[in-house]
Amino acid sequence: MSLRSVTSDNFVIVDITGEPRVIGEVDFPSALTFLHEKAIYLHGGQQYHVAHLDFKERKAYVKEVDSDYYTDAVKYTQVRVLEVAQGERIARGGAASAIAHERAHGDVLVRSQVVGFKKIKFFTHEISATGNWSCRKTRCTRRRTG
């Protein structure tokens, strides 16, 4: 069982530089962020270019490279409150300058989508290119535990 996730939707990372070999495994949300096509994936101090992300087989095919950049996914996340089980208002400061906050426990819906990526140069951190990437939304419902 993978220590990264409790789901069976993990992606196996296959190095196809020479004879195909498995070099790792990541959970589904991490695959969308780190293993999108054209990504530079770092594993064991080695850079890999992601050649193909196979959703049906749950495999990412990578090749060893020596590049002068890394990639960073552009990800949008939306959080929506589904149900508030318990909550309270908190005021800080005096009565005239009270800043009110609300603290609550309950159920939320989290939706994330990777919409693109940036190529960032090592050392200078210059963004050398950007790319769009069409990917399905991931959805995660968090339930309270206590």
Label residue 133 by pLDDT band (50, 70, 90): low
Average pLDDT rounded to a whole number, residues 120-137: 74
Residues 6+ apart with CB under 8 A from 16: 51, 61, 62, 63
Give the C-alpha separation, 124 to 41, whole Å: 19
Tokens of 40: 């530079």
Q: Where are the beta strands (DSSP E) in 30-121?
A: 40-43, 46-54, 59-65, 69-92, 99-121
Both tokens of residue 134? 């069409």
55-107: pLDDT as tens digits: 999 999 999 999 999 999 988 899 999 999 888 888 776 555 566 788 889 99
Angle at 121 between CA 65 and CA 62, to 5 degrees: 25
H-helix or E-strand containing 13? Answer: strand 11-15
Separation CA 33–CA 75 (nearest Å): 8
Assigned token pair, 142: 């968090």
Residue 139 is predicted with a pLDDT of 47
